[in-house]
Structure 1
Amino acid sequence: MIDDPAAQDEAFAAGPGARRRLAPGLSMRAVVPNAITAAALCSGLTGIRFAIAGDFDKAVQAVILAGLLDGIDGRAARLLKAQTRFGAELDSLADSISFGVAPALIVYLWTLHQLPSLGWIASLAFAICCVLRLARFNARLDTLDQPHKAAGFLTGVPAPLGAGLTFLPLYLSIASGRPEFANPVMVSLWMVLIAFLMISSIPTLAWSRMRPPAHLRLGVIALVGLTMAALLTEPWFTLAAISIVYLLLLPLSVIIYGKVKRQDRMHTPDAP
């Protein structure tokens, strides 16, 4: 639909030919995944509101909920065959706020405000790197030459996971009650590290690469069930453990990607 009334009047004055060239409105099918994206955006922004009120438990939970909704909207769009350029742009804008701006402000209000200069720079670095990562992703949408994607890998740490990783000191602080995890210098350096991982060219495992062998699949199902039970009983320790396991998988991702590329070179005949 056209939001500008003046543009609408001009279109009708120009005749039916001009009206046919106007971009059509969103179909009802496309509204569902975009509504989920909007809900994720609202959840991320609400996390900032909780942080301002000093309720950092709920602030983190709001960003995690935004991450879960972000994982649903794309799948809903593919299921409904409602993938649109509008949805892709809206998703990136929502992600930049929910997983870039919101975590940066939450962590700043939690502990980095004790170092107004260094803490704010670290928060800015995280937010900017998240936006840069999403811009790089959008710029490569129509690029055919993507070695990581062709091999079933992602480039760098995804924005939702980056947001979850930057909360690791907060998880540990809430779970243990120890003030050492809220050290603003340590947290600043941690945020800068995660910011670098988001914009890096490190190959990271995508869901499509996680194919456990047949004899381990029942064990994986059991592990997922136990993880859910742990999240309900000891959420903060469990979130910290998930974050640490993901970080330990990063070197493994690089090794697996190297093996995949070597196998591809072995099976690719030399050019004449």
Structure 2
Amino acid sequence: MTAPFSPYDPGGSRNNKKPRRARFQRVPIRMILPNVVTLLALCAGLTAMRMAFEERWHYAIAGIVVAAILDGLDGRVARLVKGTSRFGAELDSLADFVNFGVAPAIILYAWMLDEVKSLGWIAALIYAICCALRLARFNVALDDPNKPKWANKFFTGVPAPAGALVVLLPIYIEELGVPHWEFLAAPVALYSVFVGLLMVSQLPTFSGKQLGNRISREWVLPLFVAAVALVALLVSYPSEVLTVFAAGYLVSIPFAFRAYRTHVRADEEKKAALAAPKES
């Protein structure tokens, strides 16, 4: 039985030869491993939404935290095993939108924003849309070859994982013992919109890309101890640690702006000094 459709030939059948059968090439494991990490992060984000529907807020927050950790690992794993690909980049972007845009919006709406009905839903929509726009802007941004080295220290706007962890700050505070007052739903809605606007803003924020690439040998063991202590604190006191993180990140934004402006002024002074005529 002949095939109902002729095989696709991108070069055209110039010599009228019999078309060759497509051969499937084997994909190396190093190309699959980063995508597996991304899919695990997506499962964590989707599970967080389920936990929100069941009003299990501890597990919902844990799902977002796990998704953020895995999101920070997939890119590093891809670069480590040389498994970066266009498919992986697109999958990572879609997973980030679900994990850090849709999931936090659903969690906040199920937790309190539904108390103000349409206003709460609009706030959740704005936050999720801002996350999508932030990711789209990040994907289409082109690296400027003339960009100074110090520019890698900053992001433009709040990144999606940090925005997801910061926008859930009201839930952390309630877990610390603050009563669930319904009249706080409107302020929480405004806060959600505020975090969404921070994500799409032009404000510089610390990126941390240059941290941890290379460290001195004498700092290796203290770093292990600090990492273990941080994990232990996060597991034992999740609400306290996440509250400190979210509040500290918001406080760091003005300092990031100040540091960015300092670098810009230093570059402008260097250019002015080079352009000034030399005295004979």
TM-score under structure 1 length normalisation:
0.84
Counterparts of residues 99-118 of structure 1 (less than 5 Å): 99-118=100-119
C-alpha deviations, 1:55-75, integer Å up to 9, x for none?
Answer: 111111111111111001000
How many equivalent residue pairs? 266
Unmatched 5+ stretches in structure 1:
none
SS in 2 for 1:54: coil
Q: Residues 115 and 182 of structure 2 are in contact (CA less than 8 Å); yes or no, is this contact kept in structure 1?
A: no
Aligned to 2:127: 126
2:79 alignment partner AA: R
Aligned to 1:230: 233
Aligned to 1:179: 180
Aligned to 2:207: 206
2:177 alignment partner AA: S
2:78 alignment partner AA: A
Unmatched 5+ stretches in structure 2:
none
The answer as to 2:245 corresponding to 1:247 is no
Q: Residues 150 and 263 of structure 2 are in contact (CA less than 8 Å); yes or no, is this contact kept in structure 1?
A: no
Aligned to 2:41: 40
Q: Find the partner of 2:270 among 261, 267, 270.
A: 267
Matched-pair identity in %: 38
Deviation at 1:186, TM superposition (A): 1.4
SS in 1 for 2:104: helix
Q: Residues 44 and 98 of structure 1 are in contact (CA less than 8 Å); yes or no, is this contact kept in structure 2?
A: yes
Q: Residues 151 and 260 of structure 1 are in contact (CA less than 8 Å); yes or no, is this contact kept in structure 2?
A: no
Task: Go from structure 1 to structure 2 and tell me whether the alpha carbon gap of 1:14 and 1:246 turns closer, same or farther (over 3 Å shift).
Answer: same
TM-score under structure 2 length normalisation:
0.82
Task: Go from structure 1 to structure 2 and tell me whether the alpha carbon gap of 1:22 and 1:183 turns closer, same or farther (over 3 Å shift).
Answer: farther
C-alpha deviations, 1:125-150, integer Å up to 9, x for none?
Answer: 01000000000011114555667973
Q: Residues 152 and 207 of structure 2 are in contact (CA less than 8 Å); yes or no, is this contact kept in structure 1?
A: no
Deviation at 1:175, TM superposition (A): 1.9
The answer as to 2:86 corresponding to 1:85 is yes
> Larger Cα Rg: Structure 1 or Structure 2?
2
SS in 2 for 1:83: coil
1:267 alignment partner AA: K
C-alpha deviations, 1:13-43, integer Å up to 9, x for none?
Answer: 9679998999977543110001111111111
Deviation at 1:152, TM superposition (A): 2.2
Identify the structure with the greater helix proportion. Answer: 1
